Structure 1
Amino acid sequence: MSHLTIVLAFTGLGMLAGLIVVLTMLPSRYVKHSPASKESVSVQVLVLGDIGRSPRMQYHALSVARHGGRVDLIGYLESPPHPDILASPRIKIYPLASPPGVLKSGSIPFIISGPSKVLWQIWTLIYVLGYQTPPARWLLVQNPPSIPTLAIALIISVLRNTHLMIDWHNYGWTILAGTKGRDHPFVGLSKAYECALGQAAPTANITVTHAMKRQLEREPYNIKAPILTLHDRPATIFQPLKSLPDRRDFLEKLPQTKDFASNIVAGQTKLIVSSTSWTPDEDFSLLLDALVTYAKEESVYPIIAIITGRGPQKTFYEERIKDLQSEGKLPNIRILTAWLTIEDYAKLLSYADLGICLHMSSSGVDLPMKVVDMFGSGLPVAAYSGYESFDELVKEGVNGCGFEMADELAVILKRLFSEEGSAELRTLRKGAEKESELRWDEEWDRVLGRVLGVID
């Protein structure tokens, strides 16, 4: 076992030991909240990440506020939140202080920066949850990240007699395993921590898929608290195409498409869109290799591919795209990157011909929010399909197509972007538009409204 592993292991064990000491000092009796009206229901929504890039947690906040509840939204302010969040008088944002740049720059060894970053997060979470924000009836926390979020959320919920609810998007330990390997000792510690806190912490849980719910009910998670499945649904800002003139006007104004707008509107050039966080769990090489293969075919439509998002691997792939273009491997194909406002992103999806999703589930039981947004915009998708929960969202031949290899994606592009495939593409668009009728507000009201007490 390396020195780094030993340090990290003791850091994790120290956190757990400290948590046990704190909990043993607390009153053993849990004081329940008295019944409250909708107007007095208060919910803290916590994400140890960028609020602006956490759509599901923002939608939770908006749903509570829409029914008259008060919301404290806690997270990093690195990109603009949803405009309705900023406009709501019932939602107050409490920003978390970002770790010092030196801890994120890579200029100091991870053996120092890693534990130091966790200690910084522990302090900022305790300060905001315990001192800045008023007590709340509910604390709704996103998982992952689980370290140190779940431990601090548990402490705060007990100290303040707050009901704790975990929104399971995925598992922190499986994401860590993607970079460290499943046999790494720290991955095992992370898994044990997540399982233990999952069993001890919540009043209730919500998951993004039925498959995840089934998994949490079994070993090693063995969660006994109630588990509800709340599928992601699109917000109202994502709407199917309604006006062809609006499509032309938008494409002519957007810098990435203004030079190609006429050909896109005429159907002579195809517009595809992919949203990515530029992280290892989305292998962008699949799309690049598929486009190279597609470009080798004769008599295929030119493609404009717009890739939105920010993340650590963006520069790497931008350089690779430049190399492929300079080598002449992408004739009649333009790949452009963009960072758009939520309004422009929603319009771009509704005006595109096909959405591409490269999300690879580390757990096998989560689902990509980007496909939900695409369906909300009436946009059919081609999505990576190599995980258990895939068919809870994408229905093959109805609203999209699945692939696992670049060659399979190339075949899909060639088939759909052909004269013979135009009818199939129209069928998939109709299926996506049908899926767009299932909205977040209705799903949230049905699953969570009464649980949180904002609906009678």
Structure 2
Amino acid sequence: MEDEAKEEREHVTVVVLGDLGRSPRMNYHALSLSKEGFEVNLIGFSGTKPQIEILSDEHITLTYMRPAPEFLSIFPKLLSYILKVLWQAVVLFFTLVTCPCSEKLLLQNPPGVPAMPVCWFYCFITRTKFYVDWHNYGYTILALSVRPNHPLVSIYRWTERIFGKLAHGGLCVTKAMKVDLEKNWGIRKITVLYDRPAARFTPLTMEEKHDFLMKLSNTYNCFSSSSPDKNVFTERYADGRVSECEDRPALLISSTSWTEDEDFSILFHALEDYERVRTEFPEHYPHLIVAVTGKGPMKAYYTSLIAEQHWVHVEVITPWMSAEDYPKLLASADLGVCLHYSSSGLDLPMKVVDMFGCGIPVVAIEYQALPELVHHNENGLIFKTKEELANLLQDWFRGFPKETEIKETYYDFYKSIEEFRKLKWHPCWTCNALPLFKDEIICKKSLTTQ
């Protein structure tokens, strides 16, 4: 009976040419499709463990592809890239043809090469409707690692443009990207679907925060205290009451992929300057603990650079958090920093969405589409230079943790963030994405407002 029920549900394939566990938006698509009565096959590479909701959903099937062999990296860079693309094309195509047939396919872009031509060809021969979810442009990301006028960048751009136009429709993450796709690419069947935080990205009670920080104190000495049931941030008293420590440090959080489109040197300079002013004016500034989460190619370089500084008043940890603990770390922080500088200027950082979901304000580096998410002096602060970031951090934490004049100025930030949190992913998805999969659905009210 269970198998028959699954057969009655319309099938949708969701494709990510990347680590499924590090593709939250596509995970959210799969969960919403399942919730709306679809049978979902989620295809991608293994690596990070997907969120528990995906693993426990009986209507979502995870199909993992074989990654390119390690020995391909021994070849010259250009040849290695071409061989990897060919490998991925063959593996993706045979994965698609060996999976159950579906009526519709949704592809994450980027990466679009070779995923876009392979998925389009598969959809063409199987008469499957082909949709693209535009997160950014792959050619602009490629241009960060090779020169912008490199032939591969041009080939990538034309691939995205041609097969993007051949798609039956799609979604994108900002209004700016929708305008660009229409004006410069001639792709018009696009709907804006803003990212929203998952349910687990939510503020913590003081008791929940204390329990989590006590857990971290077992791993990181900078969180620990010599007293029982106490860490440097919070303390539980004999009567069960939990409160913040009066002399507690500040906790700054930054999530990064440690890649070229996030210049960590900007934050490094700001922390260096914070160390200086804390040394000069210890009574005005708190000790600062900085948690920088994520994995990426430049992590080892910057962690070694930080270790060489021997800072006294600034401590930096670089944890890799589980999907369950990462939201708790965000919700325990006092302020978030976003260094994401979009390669196209047209996408939005998911990390800021998650931070807002957990109820913390954000300082973020300026680029074209960012004001669609971060509204300066309303729910966060926008900076342009490393000097501006240094000044913003010093302004924010001056007098911390006691209430100060500048902190009172920012009180409305929390009200704006609470308004943002009221608009959840699934209602937005139902309004903007579900019509792609169920043509008879008509949304009475647009839910694209950030």
> Shorter-chain TM-score: what band?
0.7 to 0.9
Matched, 1:370 2:351: yes
1:455 Cα deviation after fit: 7.9
* In structure 1, distance between residues paired with 2:66 and 2:11: 23
Q: 2:371 aligns with which of 364, 368, 391?
A: 391
Could you list the per-position Cα deviations for residues 118-144 of structure 1 after superposition, in whole angstroms to 9, with x for gaps in the alignment? 11101110111112x111111000001
Structure 1 pair 351–169 and aligned structure 2 pair: CA distance change class (3 A): same
* Greater alpha carbon shift after TM alignment, 250-259 vs 368-377: 250-259
Secondary structure of the equivalent of 1:43? strand
Please, which moves more after superposition, 207-216 or 60-69? 60-69
SS at match of 1:324: coil
Structure 2 residue 216 is matched with structure 1 residue 237: no
Q: Specify the code of the residue in structure 1 equivalent to 2:300.
A: T
- 8 Å CA contact 1:248–1:262 kept in 2: the answer is no
SS at 1:292 equivalent: helix
Distance in 2 (CA, whole Å) between partners of 1:391 and 1:109 is 41
Counterpart position of 2:114: 148
* Distance 1:454-1:440 versus aligned 2 partners, 3 A rule: farther
Residues 250, 287 of structure 2: 8 Å contact kept: yes
Percent identity over paired residues:
39
- Higher mean alpha-carbon deviation, 51-60 vs 403-412, is at 403-412
- What TM-score does the superposition give when structure 1 sets the normalisation length? 0.86
Q: Is the 8 A contact 2:253 2:330 kept in 1?
A: yes
Q: What does residue 260 of structure 2 align with?
A: 280
Q: Distance in 2 between matches of 1:425 and 1:352?
A: 16
Any residues of structure 2 matched to 1:48-67 within 5 Å, and which? 48-67=17-36
Aligned residue in 2 for 1:73: 42
Q: How does 1:86-97 map to 2 (within 5 A)?
A: 86-97=55-66
Code of the aligned partner of 2:47: E
AA at the equivalent of 1:91: I
- Asked if structure 2 preserves the Cα contact closer than 8 Å seen for 1:377 and 1:433, the reply is no
Structure 2 unaligned segments of length 5 or more: list them: 1-5, 226-230, 235-243, 442-450
Matched, 1:43 2:12: yes
Does residue 208 (structure 1) correspond to residue 173 (structure 2)? The answer is yes
Do 1:378 and 1:430's aligned partners in 2 also have CA atoms closer than 8 Å? Answer: no
CA RMSD in angstroms comes to: 1.7
Residue of structure 1 in register with 2:232 after alignment: 262
Q: Secondary structure at the match of 1:278?
A: coil
Q: Does 1:114 align with 2:81?
A: yes
Contact 2:256 2:262 in 1 (8 A): yes
CA–CA separation in structure 1 for the residues paired with 2:35 and 2:393: 41
Match of 1:180 in 2: 146
1:425 is displaced (CA, Å) by 4.3
Residue matched to 1:9: none
Letter in 1 for 2:156: S
Distance in 2 (CA, whole Å) between partners of 1:238 and 1:440 is: 11
Distance 2:214 2:407 in 1: 24
Matches within 5 A, 1:190-339: 190-200=156-166, 202-219=167-184, 221-224=185-188, 226-241=189-204, 243-254=205-216, 255-256=219-220, 258-259=223-224, 261-263=231-233, 265-266=244-245, 268-297=248-277, 298-299=281-282, 300-325=285-310, 330-339=311-320
Return 5+ residue gaps in structure 1 as ranges.
Answer: 1-36
1:341 maps to 2:322: yes
**When the two structures are superposed, what TM-score results if normalisation uses the length of structure 2?**
0.87
SS in 2 for 1:364: coil
Instruction: Please report how far the alpha carbon of residue 160 of structure 1 lies from its aligned counterpart in structure 2 after TM superposition.
Output: 1.2
Determine if contact 1:68/1:454 at 8 Å carries over to the other structure. no
Matched residue count: 408
Q: Do the aligned residues in 2 keep the contact of 1:307 with 1:336 (CA within 8 Å)? A: yes
| Equivalent in the alignment of 1:160 | 126
C-alpha separation in 2, matches of 1:361 and 1:342: 24
Letter in 1 for 2:42: L
State yes or no: 1:447 paired with 2:445. Answer: no
CA apart distance, 1:263: 3.6
Match of 1:4 in 2: none
- In 2, the alpha carbon distance for the partners of 1:308 and 1:436 equals 23
